[in-house]
Amino acid sequence: MRRLPPLSAIEAFVQVARLGSIKAAAGELALSSPALSRRVQALERFMGKPLFDRRHQAIVLNADGERLLSQIAPALDAMSDAIDAMTSGGELLRLRLGLLPLYASRRLMPRLGELKAAHPELHLDVDTQPNRQARLGDSLDAAIVLARDIDPALYARRLDRNRVFVIGCRDLLDGPDPVTRPEHVSRLTALVHRDMPETFIEWRRAMGLPELEPRTTDFFDSGPLMLEAAAQGLGVAFMLEMHFEGARDERLMRLFEPVDSDYSYWFVCRPRALHTRAVRIFHDWVLAVLNPEPASAR
């Protein structure tokens, strides 16, 4: 039988390749950075070629490393699944998942039956409380968050691109003082989600009105309540395209042209969580089924 490199060296290589950092990978494997580097170097000596390009404060897979990762990472994941299956005793898999209520109702719940049919062993504990990123690894295994930036210590995959919509009730166009120009927002209340505090700023910048201020700004932590407030004429909501299209509320209309937004939905978890079967099943399903375009890693 052909001699193989140590499994510890293979595991170190895959972890560094996935995280792009010796320090982060060492933390996940409970090793010192020098010890992890030695394992990677041992694999490179075994292969007879470098697998990474070493740059200033960075380590990046080269072409040989990319090829090796594509061939051995699935095998390593399959080994982990086999160990999980043998040690779990056939027990159910449970995933503690953080979600925004609006994303859960608009995107996840309509497709959840497909996930259940494909993986009847997987059960979700859905958590809609705030501070999802901070609670990963504690009360949450994974989360889908709405953010402009993600904590660099986390594993993250972008799920979409968005545009900011200004959403208001139809009466805003029918009254004696109709809202027809962006400047007219100065006499209205801006409704802004606490998870997207920069949406109004993004919109006014795109409109070429950096000094524009609404009459006042009301903050919400619930997308559905924001939409209802807009439908009741309490202000105009600065939300994303998905929120407007998903509302299907005839009382609401889009004011003005949408503008590009830096906010995206992201799948996030602690890097070590990807080694658990429940997280990996959900991660792969989300990227394959709920993602409207190829996901890009941060």
Q: What are the structural domains, with CATH classification, of the chain?
A: 7-88 (1.10.10.10), 94-155+264-290 (3.40.190.10), 162-261 (3.40.190.10)
Mean confidence (pLDDT) of the chain: 87
Band of pLDDT at residue 39, cut at 50, 70 and 90: very high
Measured CA to CA, the distance from residue 295 to residue 64 in angstroms comes to: 23
Q: What is the mean pLDDT of residues 23-50?
A: 88
pLDDT over 70 (residue 87): no
Band of pLDDT at residue 91, cut at 50, 70 and 90: low
pLDDT given for residue 260 in this prediction: 92
pLDDT given for residue 271 in this prediction: 87
- The candidate with the shortest Cα–Cα distance to 158, out of 286, 24, 15, is 286
Selected residue with higher pLDDT from 237 and 139:
237
pLDDT given for residue 75 in this prediction: 82
pLDDT over 60 (residue 296): no
Selected residue with higher pLDDT from 92 and 63:
63
